[in-house]
C-alpha cells in the first residue's frame, strides 16, 4: 500500500511537467528531472531566437540504415518552423554484422537552420557522455547525454544569433549530480508525507 501511495505522489508531483512538455515529442528514456532540463533549455532558446528545439527519445530498435528523417515526419504536426529536432535512439542497430547499437540524428527544418550549428560538435557532446566508462548506470548516462546534446545545440544556435542562454548546461557531470540530488529530495519528501509523518502521529496519539 505504501509503494502505491509513493508512486501516486511522485506522479502527482511531476504531472504538470508531463502535461506541459511541448519540446519533447516522444519520451521512452528521459527521467523527469532530465526532461525538466530539456524543456527549460528549449523554451529559452525559443524565446530568445525564435528557433524551436525538439527531442525524440525512443527505445525503438531501428534496423541498420533506418531513415530517421522519414521517421520524424510523423511528428511534423507537433513542430513549428524554424526548428531543429534531435532523435536519440540508443537501441538502433548500426550494422547487420555487429551488435553495436545507438544513433543520434539531428534534423533541421531548413539549410538556414543547419548553418547555425556544427553537427559534429553536437554529436560529440552527446555521445561522449553516453559512451563514457564510469560507475553511473547506462540509463543515467543516456539521460545526461541527451541533456548535454540539447544544451550544446541550443548554445550554438544562440551564438549564431548573437544571444546568450542562461539555462544551458556547461558541466555534464554537474547536471548528473543535480539530478540525483533532486531525485533524493523528492523521494525523501514523499516518504515523509506517507510513511514517517503518519508513524510520528500514531506514536504521539498513543
Q: Are 52 and 23 in contact (CB under 8 A)?
A: yes
Q: What is the pLDDT of residue 193?
A: 65
pLDDT in tens, 69-109: 999 999 999 999 999 999 999 999 988 888 888 999 999 99
Average pLDDT score, the chain: 82
**CA atoms within 13 Å, Cβ hemisphere of 64:** 7
The reported pTM is 0.75
Q: What is the pLDDT of residues 33-46, one digit of tens each?
A: 889 999 999 999 99
pLDDT of residue 132: 79
CA distance 58 to 98: 21
Give the span between the Cα atoms of 185 and 172, in whole angstroms. 20
Please tell me the predicted confidence (pLDDT) of residue 169.
83
Q: Does the structure show a pLDDT above 60 at 13?
A: no
**CB-based contact 38:30 (threshold 8 Å):** yes
With cut-offs at 50, 70 and 90, classify the pLDDT of residue 1.
Answer: very low
Res 150: pLDDT: 96
pLDDT band per the 50, 70, 90 thresholds, residue 2: very low
| Total residues found in the chain within this entry | 206
52 vs 129, more confident: 52
Beta strands (DSSP E) in the chain are 24-27, 52-57, 83-93, 101-108
Please state, for a pLDDT cut of 90, what percent of the chain lies above it: 54
User: Residue 14 contacts by C-beta under 8 Å, 6 or more apart in sequence?
Assistant: 32
Highest mean pLDDT among 5-9, 48-52, 198-202: 48-52
Domain 23-172 has CATH 3.90.1150.10: no
pLDDT tops 90 at residue 173: no
Domain boundaries, the chain: 23-172
The closest alpha carbon to 150, from 32, 7, 43, 4, belongs to 43
Q: Coil, strand, or helix at residue 180?
A: helix
161: Cβ–Cβ under 8 A, 6 or more apart, which residues?
Answer: 48, 49, 51, 116
- Which residues, in sequence order, are bridge partners of residue 54? 85
Residue bearing cell 529536432: 85
Q: How confident is the model at residue 120 (pLDDT cuts 50, 70, 90)?
A: very high
What pLDDT sits at residue 15?
Answer: 46
Residue 196 has pLDDT above 70, yes or no: no
Inter-CA distances, 19 with 4, 95, 102, 103, Å: 21, 37, 28, 27
For 119-142, what is the mean pLDDT? 86
Please indicate whether residue 194 or residue 133 has the higher confidence score (pLDDT).
Answer: 133
Q: In the predicted model, what is the mean pLDDT of residues 49-68?
A: 96
What is the C-alpha to C-alpha distance for residues 2 and 11, in angstroms, rounded to an integer? 14
Residue 10 burial (CB count, 10 A): 16
Amino acid at each position: 500500500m505504501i509503494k502505491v501511495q509513493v508512486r501516486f505522489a511522485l506522479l502527482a508531483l511531476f504531472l504538470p511537467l508531463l502535461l506541459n512538455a511541448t519540446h519533447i515529442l516522444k519520451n521512452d528514456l528521459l527521467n523527469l528531472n532530465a526532461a525538466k532540463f530539456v524543456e527549460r533549455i528549449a523554451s529559452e532558446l525559443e524565446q530568445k531566437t525564435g528557433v524551436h528545439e525538439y527531442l525524440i527519445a525512443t527505445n525503438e530498435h531501428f534496423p541498420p540504415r533506418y531513415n530517421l528523417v522519414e521517421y520524424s515526419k510523423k511528428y511534423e504536426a507537433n513542430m513549428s518552423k524554424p526548428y531543429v529536432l534531435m532523435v536519440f535512439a540508443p537501441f538502433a542497430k548500426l550494422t547487420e554484422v555487429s551488435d553495436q547499437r545507438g544513433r543520434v540524428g539531428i534534423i533541421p527544418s531548413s539549410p538556414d537552420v543547419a548553418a547555425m550549428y556544427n553537427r559534429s560538435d553536437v554529436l560529440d557532446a552527446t555521445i561522449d557522455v553516453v559512451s563514457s566508462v564510469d560507475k553511473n548506470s547506462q540509463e543515467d548516462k543516456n539521460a545526461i547525454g541527451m541533456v548535454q546534446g540539447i544544451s550544446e545545440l541550443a548554445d550554438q544556435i544562440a551564438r549564431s544569433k548573437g544571444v546568450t542562454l542562461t539555462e544551458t548546461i556547461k558541466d555534464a557531470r554537474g547536471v548528473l549530480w543535480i539530478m540525483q540530488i533532486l531525485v533524493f529530495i523528492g523521494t525523501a519528501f514523499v516518504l515523509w508525507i506517507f510513511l514517517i509523518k503518519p508513524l510520528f502521529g500514531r506514536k504521539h496519539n498513543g
